[in-house]
Amino acid sequence: MKTAIVTDGKYRMSIAAVRALSRAGYHVVVTQTREDVQTAPPVSVSKHCAEFRWIDGHVTDTEYKKRLISVLQDYERPILFCVGAVTLNLVAAQREEFSSIADFLVASQSVLDQLNDKEIVHERAEKLGIPVPKQYKDNQPDDFPVVIKPHCGEKFGLKAADRYAVAHNTEEYHAIMTKMRQYDSQPLVQQKIEGAGAGVSLLLDKEGNLICALCHRRIREYPITGGPSTCCESFYDETMIRQAYQLFHSFGFVGFGMVEFKDHCVLEVNPRIWGSFPMTEATESPFVAQYARAASGEAVPYTPKDYKIGVRMRFFLNDTVAILHYLKSGQVGTALRGIGDCFTAKEALHGKGDNRVFRTYLKQSLFQR
């Protein structure tokens, strides 16, 4: 049985990957650096996790590469599935060395750097004729509200909700610019696009061919003023998939990535595993299995609509907090629909016959933080 190694088990996105790889017939090994967590993460108790292996130290240690390679060398050419951004960038920067002992789909460091720069992505989308928000250069914007964000919030270790801020007037604009300049001397200032957000997730093989796609729209988010999604729903949009692929392909990208849209405008991209990745499991998308096949060198054809449409998925704890804040802000309709979803939407971390993972997640989230 071939082995698949999933890194950074502390992230909840890892759970969907582990389950999908196990169902595809792989011996799944999960790794986690000791100094990044207080205790073994929930994925370690999954029945789909054949082995859980600690890696000494912190993920940012200079010795992390050597320690990860040591784990990989214990198996015969495993599939490497990078969940965390630090691990992904490490493999990207040392692709030749890692490719000698494992199979994976990871873009080069230069490609990831370009895709992590919001201004470069904005300019490329404009060049390709893909709609983007109006961007204000140098001078104060002539209209409000505007969104202010650094070129790459991840590089500064900012949480998703802190990677941008909205200014509704000149006073707020100057205050936010002062704050953002702590991280980036020239933050980006863009027109705020209204409407529901949507994500188009793609998988590109070693030759940059599209082999899998999945669309989801945001239903609720937290913070409710603009943050990661707490509830989302799958749908299909051929045009958005085509535009997302056109954008990624223009950079020579390979692997997993997501393009964020709002009102059909591209806001930014995530050239890595994204927060709502459990939607791949909820919709029974073949994303993870296709990744393993393509990483091994197998030719994988693209099949449109190869997932369930209209599936609603929620993150229990985050969505509960979001619903309470929608109610507190007077958005009663949104809150009531959220309460309804408590009985109908799929819980992101639930798994048939594997619910010990969800119970462990709740216990750790409520009592260990």
Q: Can you give the pLDDT of all 369 residues of the chain as single tens digits?
A: 999 999 999 999 999 999 999 999 999 999 999 999 999 999 999 999 999 999 999 999 999 999 999 999 999 999 999 999 999 999 999 999 999 999 999 999 999 999 999 999 999 999 999 999 999 876 678 889 998 888 887 666 666 667 788 889 988 888 988 888 888 888 899 999 988 899 999 999 999 999 999 999 999 999 888 788 999 999 999 999 999 999 999 999 999 999 999 999 999 999 999 999 999 999 999 999 999 999 999 999 999 999 999 999 999 999 999 999 999 999 999 999 999 999 999 999 999 899 999 999 999 998 865
SS (H, E, C) the chain: CCEEEECCCCCCHHHHHHHHHHHCCCEEEEEEEHHHCCCCCHHHHCCCCCEEEEECCCCCCCCHHHHHHHHHCCCCCCEEECCCHHHHHHHHHCHHHHHCCCECCCCCHHHHHHHCCHHHHHHHHHHHCCCCCCEECCCCCCCCCEEEECCCHHHHCCCHHHCCEEECCHHHHHHHHHHHCCCCCCCEEEECCCCCEEEEEEEECCCCCEEEEEEEEEEEECCCCCCCEEEEEEECCHHHHHHHHHHHHHCCCCEEEEEEEECCEEEEEECCCCCCCCHHHHCCCCHHHHHHHHHCCCCCCCCCCCCCCCCEEECHHHHHHHHHHHHHCCCHHHHHHHHHHHHHCEECCCCCCCCHHHHHHHHHHHHCC
pLDDT for the residue numbered 165? 87
Task: Indicate the fold that domain 3-104 takes in CATH.
Answer: Rossmann fold (3.40.50)
Task: Indicate the fold that domain 134-191 takes in CATH.
Answer: Dna Ligase; domain 1 (3.30.1490)
CATH of 197-367 among 3.40.800.20, 3.40.50.150, 1.20.1050.10, 3.30.470.20: 3.30.470.20
For residue 65, give the nearest of 110, 101, 17, 40 by alpha carbon: 101
User: Which residues have C-beta within 8 Å of that of residue 255, sequence separation ≥ 6?
Assistant: 104, 105, 106, 107, 203, 204, 271, 272, 291
CA distance 209 to 130: 20
pLDDT for the residue numbered 163? 77
Q: Where are the domains of the chain?
A: 3-104, 134-191, 197-367
pLDDT for the residue numbered 195? 82
Which two structure tokens, joined as six digits, stand for 189? Answer: 């200032």
Helix 13-23 vs helix 287-295: angle between axes, to the nearest 10 degrees?
70
Cα→Cα distances 246→64, 107, 204, Å = 35, 16, 11
